[in-house]
Structure 1
Amino acid sequence: MNNSTIKVLEVILRKNYESLKEFNRDLGLSLSTISEAILNLKNYSFEFDNSGYKLISNKMLTNFNNLLNNYNLNIFKDARESILYSLLFFNKLNDISGYVNLSDIHILRNLNYLREKGVVYIKDESYFLKEDLKPIIKDIFETIIAKSQESDAELIIKKGIIFKILPKGKLLQGKLTAFSKFNDYGLIYYTVSDYGVDTKEQLSIEDIFVHALLLSNSKKDLVLCTCFYLKNKYRLNLTKLRKKLSHFEIYPVYEKMIDYIRTGADFGLFLPKKEFIRILNEYDLSLDLLTHKENLISFFEDLEKLINIPLKVYLIGGCNLVLRNLKNVTKDIDVIVNSETEYLYLEKILLSLQFVRDTKLSNQTEHLRIRMVFKKDNNQIDVFVKRVMNQIFLNDSMIKKSETKNFGKLDIKLVSLEDIILFKAIAGREGDIEDISRIIERKDINWNYLYNQFILQFDNSNDLLFLSILDTFDIINKTNPIPILSKIERFVLEKSILFVCKTPKSIPKIKKILEFPDHTIRNVINKQVKDGLLKSILGKPMLFQTI
């Protein structure tokens, strides 16, 4: 609310007025300013009698009367209003900043004012509304939102985002999402209602999936989400997906969905497996076969029979954990070979075992094999040459730390658990977080080695893909503490700022790219400017460039 609207509201809550002149006499505001303030109050769902100056009793009037008994209405002035609403969903400064789209300094100034007025308190570097205020602020927010939406919409507000379910064809503002967009991604499903979200932003496939999970209210809904995932899992960016799932606090539902796919355990959330299989068949989908330790050993023995010269293959995924008895089953076999010659030889052996190279999933350039995928029935082998997905490379320390399982001329090298954590944290595929947590829970980890290996890999990377490790570690850290997380965050931020500032960038632009708190970015930039790593370019806004 602007200042004049608050002034008009304060006096109108205490006294009945008959004309604009009375307002003018008491407030000293112009007639046009008073008229505009009254119009603003109507937009806030205040109702007036026929005279146009007396408030009629309704929910909004009750809420503001309750506020006026204990608080100054200036707590709603300008940006403070949005900050109050943000505290219904967020407590951390960076999240509040993202919601209200203001600088941290501006937000902190207003939060301090709200603390002084007894509206907000701080605990463990987080900000909270006073308990007696929460229901009032929530009611005010929801009343305002409802007035701005379609009258026949069922509203669901999550993390400040307005979702709605309404009759088909009745969406007037926002965009279709969730189940209403499944058809666009190859899963034919005709909904009874329209599912919408009040946004002007372009929706990604990750948004569609997360919104569907969020709006699911039956076992069948969740199974349809599972089918959508299976249909599109190679199109989904799992780093983006994890961020969005964590933001809406539904990552545990996604984890249960992955377990449901793997084991059929329904957790009381999903349909029984028999019904699940029936629906999969309707959509021409199938489940991946799982590989047990006995199958792995048998496969390596068959592979060795066709080998004429010694071959070393490094296991980097779930198979590594299966052979270590840290995991019962795995889906794919992920391996690295250390040279192009070894790759060509392994490829020849796999083709002789009736594996076929999947050209759709394989990724290579004229000079670089990024990922080569071989399939036979429902079994899949991913082969990398020296470097995984053009990110992590097989280096001397990894080779030295590996353990050997010998199958005659075939040496199966198990990279260390520390290196497995790194591979899985950056790959970020389904089940990787569960695997990393399992390793941390059951084994002593050499965190210094892992940190040093991370730095070595990051320094040899030409992009920001290593930022994804932070998202993975943040999720794991909630249940299994990662002692090097703060060191990794600082290191990544310092390097990432230098990377993105190869071309001049403002702090808001840097924040948008890296998604770190405003004040943290400023502190690092100030140090890097002082150390001669960055230079500032005067202007509005000020820009920074790597030297």
Structure 2
Amino acid sequence: MNPSAIALLKAVRDGASNPKELMNIIGIREWQFNNLVRDLANQDYIEKTDSSITFKANSKTILFRDVASKFDVEKLLHDSNELVFQNLTEPKTINNIQRLTGLSLRTVQRAISELESIGVVRRDEKGKVNLNRYFEPLYLYAEYLKTESEKKHVEPYAEIIYQDLARTLKKVPKGKRVDGELTGFSLFPDYGVEYHTTHDYYIEQDTPLQLAEALIHAVLAASKEQDKHGIVMAMIFYLKNKQKLDPLALRKVARDYMISDVWVDIEGYLRNTPVKNQNLFLPWQEFEEKARLYDIPTESYTLPVAYPDLFKDIGQNIPSETEAYLLGGENMRLKGLKPRTKDCDLVVQDERSFNHIVETLKKLGYTSVNKSRLSADDQRIAASDILEHPARSRVDIFTRIVARKLALSGRMKKRAKIEVHGKVKLGIMANEDVFLMKGLTLREGDVQDMARLAQSSGFDWQVVWDEMERQEKDRFERFSVVLLESLDYLYEQTGIRAPFYRKLLRHVLDYEIGRQIRDGGKTLTDVISALHGGDITEKMIRNRVDYLEKKGFLKKKKQGNEVYLDPKERIVLNIPSNAQLSTYEKAIQSVDSISIKLGLSEHAKQKAREIVDRLNNANLLGGRSPKATAAAAVHVAVIMSGEAHRSSAKEIARAAEINPVSLYANYKRIKIHLRL
């Protein structure tokens, strides 16, 4: 609202009604005054007769007068402040406010600062901005303005469920025609869930509708109305279509719509664990009745009964001495931290141990899961094999690397408690290592498991930090970003915050700043706009940029009113010869060729390319066979990626058309020079 409009409303509130008197108070010309009166009349604030201007008799003007009697309405409503104010009917982060309003970061921050200065808003411990709820007319006025704004752009019979600049989710009476496409509960029958409501649900957006979005739209609609039966139907839809849905995509969409806590609750509820938003869920027995009605297999939402003799059976039947390490849910069950688990996660050090355990499990009635049946979650964790049994928890086996991220380190082995079962030496991994693994895989139910682990006796957060830091250095991986996201979910659901959270945030922020500027040409404003939000403030970003400049990782360059950020150029003392450059190109081509022949994952191929890059940067390619170097790089990469069971050294040598002895010699050279 412009300052003249606010001044006119204040004058009318104070008793002025004569048009000429009001014109003099505001200090504008007659034609401007007439336009202003017309605009405020169209907004339902005032009405004009021949001799006077007065407030209209409606809820809006009553609320305005109540609010104006307590707060400075000039600061509350001027310019963009009104838009920010009306979007605060629910707690929101600065990032969410910016997305909903389309305003710049600086404008949103300025508006929040002004609203704070008059006591209209406050920030909670999670960094979200809240309206002052102690004065109810303030909230009701914001809600009125928001509803009024939303209805300007939608059909009169539509009810807005969610709206931002890019999307409008709405419900309308059944059969009414509106803009957009069907979503939410309206799509359930198309995916095997017959559920009919008195309304249709529509989404207006420029991007194609994804199945994950349709499900989250249903959850959002049900949670907004605290419709427990609607939440149950959303869970039925999820279980029916689980193979088509990626849990990470669902969490991302839920976070975009600001209901990630509700979605994580749904994941936990389906694992029969306590939930945060208890008011949204029916008793478990009622859910089971509904699941049976829709022919949902019991194993989709109940965990198998524990089989405590599993490792005893393996130890008695395995052909020779074998070492394995237990992590995940079965690890927690053995320690009494959870009653049941969906799977038993084992990690082994080498291909021989992997083959022995798989062969033994198959003798005991287990079968490998067909790859076509793997869920998006299963594909993402990249187990070497997944075996299932008709009546027991399934077994996920990893060879050295878990979920293409976490390696079985010597430190983890030392922390593990060793049990001997016949010929099997089983390491029960420490709670801290299980926590880190769950923080990096973040499968369904892992947030609740992380809470149990963090609250277990003697849990040491420093061990988690040290292991993460060492693994990143040893494996040249950057998975602290994933851990940070997991810790955010953990705090959001349980209030548990890692003591190293701020340090991790700075660690991730440094990496993200580097990623933003690696190609050069980015302004400081660009970087702030891309990274701010939640716990990451503009001040924090500026401080980290200053720190990185001081440490020599980037340089600032002032051009006009903008500050540009560029990565510091690496000083190369030894310039490679043309022959070395040619060797490099041939080695990269060989990596690609070997990867295609062996059907390696994109992750393993890129890891091999990175190894060749590092050898080239260290001037270690000259005088070497490109094929042998490439083959050795691929061998290292598949080991680091946990895919060694799929491609042996002999198979790699055959694909590269070299002698295995040459591969092994180059493999040892790479390990020594790159300190792997």
- The normalised TM-score by structure 1 is 0.83
3-state SS of 2:371 partner: coil
Which one of 312, 324, 329 corresponds to residue 313 of structure 1? 324
Which one of 543, 557, 566 corresponds to residue 523 of structure 1? 543
Does the aligned pair in 2 maintain the 1:187–1:228 contact within 8 Å? yes
Which one of 139, 147, 150 corresponds to residue 145 of structure 1? 150
Listed as ranges, the matches of 1:235-384 within 5 Å are: 235-238=245-248, 241=251, 244=254, 248=258, 251=261, 254-255=264-265, 258-260=268-270, 262=272, 269-270=281-282, 273=285, 276-277=288-289, 279-280=291-292, 282-283=294-295, 285-288=297-300, 290-293=303-306, 295=307, 297-352=308-363, 353-360=365-372, 361=374, 371-377=384-390, 379-384=393-398
Deviations 1:438-457 (A, max 9, x none): 22223112222211111123
Which one of 567, 584, 598 corresponds to residue 546 of structure 1? 567
Listed as ranges, the matches of 1:435-474 within 5 Å are: 435-459=449-473, 465-474=479-488
Q: CA 1:529–1:223 in structure 2 vs 1: closer, same or farther (change >3 Å)?
A: same
Q: CA 1:527–1:174 in structure 2 vs 1: closer, same or farther (change >3 Å)?
A: farther
- Percent identical pairs in the alignment equals 22
Does the aligned pair in 1 maintain the 2:326–2:426 contact within 8 Å? yes
CA distance in 2, matches of 1:169, 1:517: 46
CA distance in 2, matches of 1:4, 1:300: 79
Q: Which amino acid aligns with 2:540?
A: T
Listed as ranges, the matches of 1:79-98 within 5 Å are: 79-90=80-91, 93-98=94-99
Q: CA 1:264–1:92 in structure 2 vs 1: closer, same or farther (change >3 Å)?
A: closer
**Other-structure match for 1:165:** 171
Listed as ranges, the matches of 1:167-186 within 5 Å are: 167-170=173-176, 172-173=178-179, 176-183=182-189
CA distance in 2, matches of 1:222, 1:362: 22
Q: Which amino acid aligns with 1:307?
A: I
Superposed displacement of residue 319, structure 1: 0.6
Does the aligned pair in 1 maintain the 2:171–2:202 contact within 8 Å? yes
Does the aligned pair in 2 maintain the 1:256–1:267 contact within 8 Å? no
3-state SS of 1:486 partner: helix
Deviations 1:377-431 (A, max 9, x none): 3743222221111111111111221122211111222111110110111211222
- The normalised TM-score by structure 2 is 0.68
Which one of 505, 508, 512 corresponds to residue 492 of structure 1? 508
3-state SS of 1:335 partner: strand
Superposed displacement of residue 270, structure 1: 2.3
3-state SS of 2:498 partner: coil
CA distance in 1, matches of 2:27, 2:438: 66
CA distance in 2, matches of 1:301, 1:517: 53
CA distance in 1, matches of 2:291, 2:305: 27
Q: Which amino acid aligns with 1:517?
A: T
CA distance in 1, matches of 2:409, 2:116: 53
Per mean C-alpha deviation after superposition, the further-off stretch among 27-36 and 333-342 is 27-36
CA distance in 1, matches of 2:256, 2:452: 20
Per mean C-alpha deviation after superposition, the further-off stretch among 259-268 and 221-230 is 259-268
Superposed displacement of residue 308, structure 1: 1.1
Q: CA 1:310–1:277 in structure 2 vs 1: closer, same or farther (change >3 Å)?
A: farther
3-state SS of 1:329 partner: coil
CA distance in 2, matches of 1:31, 1:141: 31
3-state SS of 2:480 partner: helix
For structure 2, the residue ranges without an aligned partner over 5 or more in a row are 569-676
**Other-structure match for 1:64:** 64
**Other-structure match for 2:632:** none
Answer yes or no: is 1:229 the counterpart of 2:238.
yes
CA distance in 2, matches of 1:146, 1:254: 31
Q: Which amino acid aligns with 1:458?
A: E
Answer yes or no: is 1:393 the counterpart of 2:393.
no
Superposed displacement of residue 4, structure 1: 4.2
Answer yes or no: is 1:41 the counterpart of 2:40.
yes
Superposed displacement of residue 163, structure 1: 5.0
Does the aligned pair in 2 maintain the 1:311–1:409 contact within 8 Å? yes
Does the aligned pair in 1 maintain the 2:16–2:22 contact within 8 Å? no
Deviations 1:95-116 (A, max 9, x none): 5455445455444433443344
Superposed displacement of residue 22, structure 1: 8.4
CA distance in 1, matches of 2:253, 2:510: 21
Does the aligned pair in 1 maintain the 2:170–2:203 contact within 8 Å? yes
Does the aligned pair in 1 maintain the 2:513–2:527 contact within 8 Å? no
3-state SS of 2:91 partner: coil
CA distance in 1, matches of 2:296, 2:123: 53
Does the aligned pair in 2 maintain the 1:89–1:159 contact within 8 Å? no
Answer yes or no: is 1:411 the counterpart of 2:425.
yes
Does the aligned pair in 2 maintain the 1:425–1:473 contact within 8 Å? yes
Per mean C-alpha deviation after superposition, the further-off stretch among 468-477 and 239-248 is 239-248
**Other-structure match for 1:195:** 201
Deviations 1:443-500 (A, max 9, x none): 1122222111111233456666532322332343443342222222222222232234
Q: CA 1:470–1:514 in structure 2 vs 1: closer, same or farther (change >3 Å)?
A: farther
Q: CA 1:123–1:350 in structure 2 vs 1: closer, same or farther (change >3 Å)?
A: closer
Task: Name the count of aligned residue pairs.
Answer: 540
Q: CA 1:252–1:89 in structure 2 vs 1: closer, same or farther (change >3 Å)?
A: closer
CA distance in 2, matches of 1:148, 1:98: 18
Does the aligned pair in 1 maintain the 2:481–2:508 contact within 8 Å? yes
Does the aligned pair in 2 maintain the 1:369–1:385 contact within 8 Å? no
Superposed displacement of residue 33, structure 1: 4.5
Does the aligned pair in 2 maintain the 1:371–1:388 contact within 8 Å? no
3-state SS of 1:330 partner: coil
RMSD: 4.1
Q: Which amino acid aligns with 1:137?
A: A
CA distance in 1, matches of 2:207, 2:23: 43
Q: Which amino acid aligns with 1:503?
A: D
Per mean C-alpha deviation after superposition, the further-off stretch among 169-178 and 68-77 is 169-178
Per mean C-alpha deviation after superposition, the further-off stretch among 407-416 and 372-381 is 372-381
* Higher-Rg member (1/2): 2
CA distance in 1, matches of 2:505, 2:273: 35
Q: CA 1:530–1:170 in structure 2 vs 1: closer, same or farther (change >3 Å)?
A: farther
Q: CA 1:141–1:182 in structure 2 vs 1: closer, same or farther (change >3 Å)?
A: same
